Amino acid sequence: MQKTTGIYSMLSAAWVYETLMTLLGGKRKRQILVNEYIRPEKGMKILDCGCGPAEIVSFLPGVEYLGIDLSPAYIDQARAQFGEYGEFQVQSAAEIAVSGRKFDLVMALGLLHHLNDEQANALLATAYSALIPGGRLLTFDGVFVEKQSLLARFFLKRDRGQNVRWQKEYEKLATGVFGSDNVISDIRTDMTRIPYTHILLQCRKC
Ligand SMILES: C[S@@+](CC[C@H](N)C(=O)[O-])C[C@H]1O[C@@H](n2cnc3c(N)ncnc32)[C@H](O)[C@@H]1O
């Protein structure tokens, strides 16, 4: 579920979304995601759910990348810009599960906060079944935490995603599928140029 009316409707255009992400410090954010969390290796099979225009692909040389998104405009942009570096499909995660393809890493970067609990549970279950044993799911979303700056709260409440959650709520969703011993949760306040709080969940399939 995402806000799509008023000013939010402009973000449906891939170039508007990308320009906004760049202004917010998207390049640095992606570099942190790649270096500290994705940790790519040559030939690694990566499924990116809700990939958007897929700018992250340019930071992932040598991997086998499949990006899926429900937005044809974002997928068109991803294909035009990064077609030689990956495969891009207008598809839901549920369709990938049916395909039987397996991945070393599933990413859902900025997706869970667009999904209600039922949809988020379905996505997590899909990620689990699409991973090889030992594979990882990485999620990245805005989060409410105690003692948060008022400005971060202000921006989070205006996020396009309608399901920004509290830290414990995200963790409960992830541990429900992957088990409490297999989820590492990180809170960061340094990923964007504006005050914002993010949660990163790294979930391992045993
Ligand atoms: C905030 S954007 C994140 C895009 C990209 N991952 C990034 O980090 O820049 C969320 C994306 O999720 C997509 N999306 C929303 N609901 C979805 C769903 N149920 N299945 C797949 N993609 C979805 C939207 O179209 C949008 O491109």
pLDDT digits (tens, 9 = 90+) for 97-129: 778 899 999 999 999 999 999 999 999 999 999
Comparing CA positions, the residue from 101, 82, 80 lying closest to residue 91 is 101
- Parallel, antiparallel, or unpaired for β 87-90 and 45-49? unpaired
Q: Write the DSSP symbol of residue 63.
A: S
**What average pLDDT does the segment 53-77 reach?**
95
Encoding tokens for residue 124? 């997590």
Q: How far is the CA of 47 from the centre of ligand 1 (A)?
A: 13
**What average pLDDT does the segment 67-84 reach?**
95
**What average pLDDT does the segment 70-78 reach?**
95
pLDDT category of residue 3 using cuts at 50, 70 and 90:
low
Determine if the pTM surpasses 0.85.
yes
Q: What is the pLDDT of residue 34?
A: 98
Binding site membership of 17 for ligand 1 (Cβ less than 6 Å): no
Percentage of the chain exceeding pLDDT 90:
83
Ligand 1 atom at shortest distance from the alpha carbon of 26: 9
pLDDT category of residue 197 using cuts at 50, 70 and 90:
very high
Q: What average pLDDT is seen over the chain?
A: 93
Q: Where are the domains positioned within the chain?
A: 6-204
Binding site membership of 138 for ligand 1 (Cβ less than 6 Å): no
Q: Where are the alpha helices (DSSP H) in 83-195?
A: 93-99, 117-130, 150-157, 167-178
Which one of 3.40.50.150, 3.40.50.300, 3.30.870.10, 3.40.50.410 gives the CATH number of domain 6-204?
Answer: 3.40.50.150
Q: What is the pLDDT of residue 93?
A: 81
Binding site membership of 89 for ligand 1 (Cβ less than 6 Å): no
Encoding tokens for residue 128? 């689990």
Residues 6+ apart with CB under 8 A from 147: none
pLDDT digits (tens, 9 = 90+) for 160-188: 999 999 999 999 999 999 999 999 999 99
Q: What is the pLDDT of residue 2?
A: 63
In angstroms, the CA 97 to CA 109 distance is: 18
Q: How far is the CA of 206 from the centre of ligand 1 (A)?
A: 27
Encoding tokens for residue 105? 């890493």
Q: What is the pLDDT of residue 196?
A: 96
Percentage of the chain exceeding pLDDT 70:
95
Binding site membership of 109 for ligand 1 (Cβ less than 6 Å): yes
Q: What is the pLDDT of residue 24?
A: 80
CA distances from 112 to 15, 40, 72, 115, 127 (A): 22, 22, 19, 5, 12
Are 185 and 199 in contact by the 8 Å Cβ rule? The answer is yes
In angstroms, the CA 182 to CA 176 distance is: 10
Q: What is the pLDDT of residue 6?
A: 65
